[in-house]
Structure 1
């Protein structure tokens, strides 16, 4: 597949990562509020390693988690994109959609706008039949984004995340699906 280097919306640019993104990305990933539905905030080194893994995914598959930028100001907002699910579950192999935005950019519709562009790419340019999303059960903000972009909850697919220990407060995850044949965005 030809690599998909950028996507655009009226307000946003989903682009390849730059070295200058590390500082705002690390600050975002160190914010306990941003990371409240993840096992823990990330150190600067862990954030750098995550960017490295994202770049590797792009190199291998031609798509991944894009750096999210405001088109008018050039401000780094976070990340949004598509990636192969990295663990075994009843619904894998699968491509998932994900996002993470810095707190100062919450509530402005950026996550939904970027996620919608990713789904349009997945079902159009990539010709995928399905994209999944999942999040910890208490993560209502992400669940709202999933619904806003036309995904449907699959309660039969809910699962205990295999990378979180038994008894971890975030282990139970809800599964959402979007299928090209039913998605109204393309």
Structure 2
């Protein structure tokens, strides 16, 4: 096994800090910080995942109200040691072309589209961390027979944890954080679906 390059070693005993990610140009795209440790998305992304993410962004952008923006590949600074990068997020923030992160109070909705290597982080680690940071809405989108299924959660403020708000197949309709209608089956081309 070869030795790690110098840039991969944490600059201090407490690990990496969220703001350190802005000073790591050598790090691969989609590098996240979870509990002070760098998490690299090194495996190739599946076409299914990319189609679902792209079409979710497009669909949400057509429905998002004034004052909100939909994005992807942007991180959220949850605290000093955590800066995850969700697949899709809806924020209440003005556009700044040099911006690299958002704060939890700016985020209205986070969507994670589950990949084989992200199952544990999306279902448990990020589920807990997004809730503790106060992000009001969290969706986990998983593949079922080639089609997206959305597991929707709302923040229960009294406990700082997520409560289930529904599992959606075929069509997702919500009134919060703004009126949303999504044809889930339409997020993937018919040729990409499992045969009945």
Q: TM-score, normalised by structure 1?
A: 0.37
Instruction: Identify, as 1 or 2, the structure richer in strand.
Output: 2
Larger Rg, first or second structure (1 or 2):
2
Instruction: Identify, as 1 or 2, the structure richer in helix.
Output: 1
More contact order relative to length (CA 8 Å, sep ≥ 6): 1
Q: TM-score, normalised by structure 2?
A: 0.36
